[in-house]
Amino acid sequence: MAKLLKKPLKLALVQLAAGADKNANLSHARHKVLEAASNGAKLVVLPECFNSPYGVKYFAKYAETLLPSPPTKEQSPSFHALSAMAKEAKAYLVGGSIPEYSSETKKYYNTNLTFGPDGALLATHRKVHLFDIDIPGKITFRESDVLSPGNKVTLVDLPDYGKIGIAICYDIRFPELAMIAARKGAFLLLYPGAFNLTTGQLHWELQARARAMDNQVYVGLCSPARDMEAEYHAWGHSMVVDPIAGVVAEVGEGEEVVYAELRGEKIEETRRGIPIYTQRRFDVYPDVSEGKVRYEE
């Protein structure tokens, strides 16, 4: 059995609230990232829309231009702030997501930027599945009123540790992304996400445990902190789930950091005990990871 995680990794999920002041949000994120690193985290994750309020009417106002890369500081203060945070923390940094504007396509995206400990950009993921829902009497939300979807699966190689899969919030409801990442060797699936009070209660933990169970990998969900004075109320409850689908770390609704030690032995032990990786019947059904998969925009 191939070793997916080369050595133990301390993961930190930073659950924080974002206000209207982008510079204050970036400064606050830096403080929390450095706090996580000082506690030994080598991989730090920020929540979806960590640099701005979450809402359709805010995407265009807070959007930054990321291409051509690297952008100038004027085009994308968040890009440069994240790069500096990663370098200062000497950690891998999955920068939640920020609203992006492409001058080439004239479209807006919900975009993750991931940086290495040297401050270099490792990967970009544009949210593939947009959050368009209508639950009568509960919540109606349509990201597609402003945003356009990304068009690829995002796998990131962390040279010291192994591969991780990155997707954003509503992407978690589509198990194909997780299956592909896991079957291509990811030891961890990360989802910065802002579930609301309706879907959070119903599906947040369920989705995290389901993706872990189906793929026998670690799963991390990083939410914004809940702010009942904001227009959008995030569920919170950032959590880490292990390969046998047990919740190993979780916080409540407020600003807090979730820590978990990830070990390759746990993946191997789980897969030996319940050996689904050798039991799949691709003579009966197709292997989604061997189909027409896009890894580039």
Point out the residues that are catalytic.
Answer: 48, 127, 169
What is the distance between the alpha carbons of residues 217 and 4, in angstroms, rounded to a whole number?
9
**Cis peptide preceding 275, ω within 30 of 0:** no
What is the distance between the alpha carbons of residues 45 and 43, in angstroms, rounded to a whole number?
7
Retrieve residue 74's tokens: 């004027």
Helices (H) and strands (E) in the chain, counts: 7, 15
Do residues 235 and 226 make contact, with C-beta atoms less than 8 angstroms apart? Answer: yes
CA dihedral 62, 138, 170, 252 (to 10 degrees): 80
Q: Which residue has the tokens 């990663």?
A: 86
Mode of pairing for the β-strands spanning 239-241 and 218-222: antiparallel
Retrieve residue 224's tokens: 């914004």
What residues form DSSP beta bridges with 166? 190
Residue 95 has a CB neighbour count (10 Å cut-off) of 28
Do residues 109 and 126 make contact, with C-beta atoms less than 8 angstroms apart? Answer: yes
Residue 187 three-state SS: strand
